[in-house]
Structure 1
Amino acid sequence: FPVFARARENARRASCLSNQKQIGLGIMQYTQDYDEKLPLRQYGGGYWGAVNSWRRSTYPYTKSTQIYSCPSNTSNATQADDSYDSWLTNAGLPLSSPRFFRSYAANASQYGISGGTTPMEYDRSSSLSALVDVSRTVLVTESKEGDNNVHMNDDPSRFSSSTDTFPGHLGTVIFLFCDGHAKAMKPSATGNPVNMWNVEENVGDNGSEVMARLNNWTTLCNKSS
């Protein structure tokens, strides 16, 4: 019955919301130890197989691997890249190291570029103090494709590929913001009237081209749910 299915999904959404609140608390604790710098979305050595994700950087604060797995997202059954045996070995980590799943991903506009060599290379990541409005800037959200990072696809060249964001909670996505709060929202609400993916300035852009891109992106999100 639809009413029972909706009730089950509401329970899963509540669980996902709780997960992201705990992740947010862990990231806020991380920033206190790193001069308000956010963890890199990923870093590694001279080759891709040694990469470590933001999940591993924040694990000492969250102390749980289960909170990185959304019960509604099929990506919760797939290990993150830095959890593969070969990648743990390449990164110099024991195979007994914590392993993570792919349900959640960082805002690609928010996190520093990949390619650093150590966790201390945090000068490449964003600083909370540099953000215009931490309460309206996306920090982490749900990933359909299980990437380390996601973004609002406002680039027409990317429309042919499936969207990164997973709107599987009755058409909504759980978004974690840079002040640590999390809420369920429709994807379109993060682009208008305020662009919540932009780290430099939270301003709306009602230009016809931008709105057309946002509408296309939202359509992709709806189709992928």
Structure 2
Amino acid sequence: MYTSKRNSAFTLIELLVVIAIIAILAAILFPVFAQAREKARQASCLSNQKQLGTALIMYVQDFDESFPISQYIDPISGAPYDWGNAIYPYIKNGTGTAYSPTVTLYNGEGGVFSCPSFPHAQICQYGINLCISHPYYATNPSEPATLAGIDSPSNRVAILEKGATSKVGGDNYSYPTFEVGQWNWAGYLAGVVDGSAQEAQMDLAYDFDRDENAPPDGYPGPGGMPRYRHNKTCNVLFADGHVKAVPRGRLSWAKNIYIPGLYERIPAAAQGAFYGAPY
């Protein structure tokens, strides 16, 4: 009696079915893996901000509850300092840049000053709120803000992560602060005044939620605005020291950015070079 022997190899159809199943599983799982990887990076970024917050609070306690000045130029060395250099002694973490044989700047680069999801090495990946950390201008000096001057520390943003700037000619400068102007958050809206809690003032008026390549967008651009790079959330340190991942659309200029009394004291950026404010 004749019997046929079945070929143990896959047929072409069976092979195509297996390939199709693998492709479907990959399409389902790869985004999940990417989100999980980004979640881990987000956790590392949150840890960075928590450490920055601890250092910031320690600085405030040591300097009569005053926040560091966001940026100034030393009148003797000419070195440009910012708030990262002010809190560095409390954190001892970050990459120093030799400005001169006697001056090393720690202006927010490397270590806890760097988000693992940031696309390239750049200073000031995190920006401080200009309301609480004023710059010091020679022709318009401004005293640093105090903790007592913040009406609701648990709601007011102190530090958040910003977009990357990679400009033409290799200029990767990023602002040490983030933009707090009402016009870039709420826009020129009819009937909206400083401190208004209208729902129309939610989130950004202009879309700078991206990283800048070239050419530059101009001020403030991505380097001066929040970046929701962690699965559409932005890591935020609040003035009371707690950190939180905030989804896009949940930051309100009136509730989280604007600080009555301190916002009005911000010196105009056109006042000239900033000098000599003591840390």
Fold similarity call, TM over 0.5: yes
Amino acid in the other structure paired with 1:149? T
Q: Which has the larger radius of gyration?
A: 2
Figure out how many residues of one structure are paired with residues of the other and give that number: 173
Given the superposition, is the C-alpha separation of residues 107 and 187 from structure 1 closer, same or farther in structure 2, using an over 3 Å criterion? farther
Matched-pair contact (CA < 8 Å) for 1:45–1:115: no
Q: 2:255 aligns to what?
A: 195
Residues 17-38 of structure 1 show CA distances to partners (whole Å, capped at 9, x for unaligned) of: 0000000000000011100000
Shift of 1:103: 1.5
Matched-pair contact (CA < 8 Å) for 2:180–2:258: no
Q: 1:176 aligns to what?
A: 237
Which ranges of structure 2 fall in alignment gaps of 5 or more residues? 1-29, 95-110, 166-173, 189-204, 207-216, 262-279
Q: 1:104 aligns to what?
A: 126
Amino acid in the other structure paired with 1:148? P
Residues 161-212 of structure 1 show CA distances to partners (whole Å, capped at 9, x for unaligned) of: 53422110011100101111110002421217x52111227xxxxxxxxxxx
Greater mean deviation of Cα atoms: 59-68 or 141-150: 141-150
Question: Secondary structure at the residue paired with 2:160?
Answer: strand
More helix by share: 1
Which ranges of structure 1 fall in alignment gaps of 5 or more residues? 81-101, 117-121, 202-225
Identity among equivalent pairs (%): 32
Amino acid in the other structure paired with 2:243? A
Query: Within the alignment, does 1:130 sit opposite 2:122 as a pair?
Result: no
Shift of 1:123: 6.2
Residues 29-57 of structure 1 show CA distances to partners (whole Å, capped at 9, x for unaligned) of: 0011100000111111359x621010010
Query: Within the alignment, does 1:141 sit opposite 2:160 as a pair?
Result: yes
Question: Secondary structure at the residue paired with 2:255?
Answer: coil
**What are the residue-to-residue correspondences of 1:24-35 with 2, within 5 Å?**
24-35=53-64
Amino acid in the other structure paired with 2:153? V
Matched-pair contact (CA < 8 Å) for 2:132–2:145: yes
Matched-pair contact (CA < 8 Å) for 1:105–1:141: yes
Matched-pair contact (CA < 8 Å) for 1:21–1:181: yes
Q: 1:71 aligns to what?
A: 116
Matched-pair contact (CA < 8 Å) for 1:40–1:111: yes
**What are the residue-to-residue correspondences of 1:12-91 with 2, within 5 Å?**
12-45=41-74, 50-65=79-94, 66-75=111-120, 77-78=121-122, 80=123
TM-score scaled by length of structure 1: 0.69
Residues 98-142 of structure 1 show CA distances to partners (whole Å, capped at 9, x for unaligned) of: xxxx221111222112336xxxxx962110011100111110111
